[in-house]
Amino acid sequence: MPRHKLSSGKVDIRKSFGKPRFMRAAILSVSFLPFLFFAAKDTSFHFRGRIVSRTEHLLHLAIGIVLAIMFTHSLMSHHLVVVGALMLFVVAGGVDEYIFHRDIPAEESDLHAKEHLALLIFIVVSLATDWLEKNNWSLSHALTQLPGASGGGF
């Protein structure tokens, strides 16, 4: 059974759940599925609902590549690359939204809102996964590390 030293100096002899790296990959992969679902529906809509230009298709391809980079590097905890990819996504997504998405159909607008929410959920789950991983996958230990959790004030 592994032994881990806690910040209090005590040794934790409990076996931690999900310590292997595959746990991080499993959690993040599952949390990315809703985004993939709505992105696929949006892509399908661009071929049957609102037919988009070649330029917009290329921009969507670039956004997809940036999000693939963001996802793969989030699996590896490469935070700087993830932040860089998200910044590129904001720029490319802004161009897409403010240039190509004027007066889009309500169905497409709804898909975009769901995609954005699903991506936000993925980012929050990614941050929470980092936090738990740094606390040996122990929620009780992680919560005691919060400011003020020891009974003292902020």
Query: In the chain, where are the structural domains located?
Result: 32-133
pLDDT band at residue 149, thresholds of 50, 70 and 90? low
Report the 10 Å Cβ neighbour count for 55.
10
What tokens appear for 145 in the block?
A: 């590390």
Q: What is the average pLDDT across 101-106?
A: 87
pLDDT recorded at residue 15? 46
Q: Is the pLDDT of residue 123 over 90?
A: yes
Q: Are 66 and 88 in contact (CB under 8 A)?
A: yes
CA distance 36 to 34: 5
Percent of the chain clearing pLDDT 70 (strictly above): 82
